[in-house]
Amino acid sequence: MIMTRHFIALLLGATLATSCTPPESSTQVTQPMVSKAGTNDAQHGVSTMVLYRPANSTFYVRHGDDGQAASELGFGAPGDIPLWADFNGDGKNVPGLYRNGRWLISSHADSTADVEIDFGGAPGDVPLAADIDGDGRADLVIFRNGQWIVRGTRDPSRLLNFQFGQAGDIPVLADFDGSGKIDLAVFRHGQWFIDTERNGTAKMTLNFGGSADRFPIASHNTGTHGSSPALFRDGMWIVGTAANAPMIEVAFGASGDIPVFLETKD
């Protein structure tokens, strides 16, 4: 079966690291010291990881950080940008794709796009999906050189606009301060600037990662804390957690993969 081959590629094992030091720029990821999740801190770890492999246009979803098998879902075509969000507000995340200004959503996660929306499409536009307008359904967001354009689900005909960051920044949407409201964030050479008020000002600044990092991702938290900054480096997921908590490192995927979604528990 084709699946078996992918499983071998993906099941690289999982470990918890105990270091609190954020990764240095462009250095190799430090090998985690230990140990299976659970023997170290059972309450603290990764609950869901989703990555996309452009080489075969396939999403891989893994629940838990103890080497569980990943499920896979073929969806997309070369050049597509993957998304993973709860577009209809039923509590379940499903895959989406952005293809040169067209958004393709598979509401039933069955590899078929049953919702198609045109939004964006300028060269360099970066698509994201998160519930900006707070109705429980993920909105379509375009980051364009520091401008955030939001096609909200409350009123798709009235686009929302925010200004935060600049050209070259890598945008991230998550609730970093745990307020219940999605914050605008940009990653710039290892620094995270977070606009919790959506007024164009960085109220939080974090150092995590380096200038060589291309895949910052927010770790959504199922517990009481806000989102944490995380990095994907050639198959290693590195999650910075709250102060004094151990950093989490989990192997899942490989170089060339794109991290799409990450959820942790605290």
Binding site for Ca ion (CB under 5 A): 86, 88, 90, 92, 131, 133, 135, 137, 139, 153, 175, 177, 179, 181, 183, 196
Shortest Å, Cβ 254 to Ca ion: 28
Tell me whether residue 10 or residue 173 sits nearer to Ca ion (CB atom). 173
Shortest Å, Cβ 226 to Ca ion: 7
Q: Compute how many other C-beta atoms are within 10 angstroms of the C-beta atom of residue 256.
A: 10
Q: What is the CA radius of gyration of the chain?
A: 18
Q: Which helix (H) or strand (E) holds 262?
A: strand 258-265
What DSSP character marks residue 158?
S
How buried is 47 (Cβ within 10 angstroms: 0-12 exposed, 13-18 middle, 19+ buried)? middle
Torsion over CA: 89, 143, 221, 33 (sign) = positive
Shortest Å, Cβ 212 to Ca ion: 28
How far apart CA 135 and CA 148 sit, in angstroms, is 18
Tell me whether residue 139 or residue 169 sits nearer to Ca ion (CB atom). 139
Shortest Å, Cβ 1 to Ca ion: 28
Tell me whether residue 65 or residue 175 sits nearer to Ca ion (CB atom). 175
Tell me whether residue 106 or residue 196 sits nearer to Ca ion (CB atom). 196
Residue pair 174/200 in contact (Cβ under 8 Å)? The answer is no
Tell me whether residue 17 or residue 182 sits nearer to Ca ion (CB atom). 182
Shortest Å, Cβ 4 to Ca ion: 29
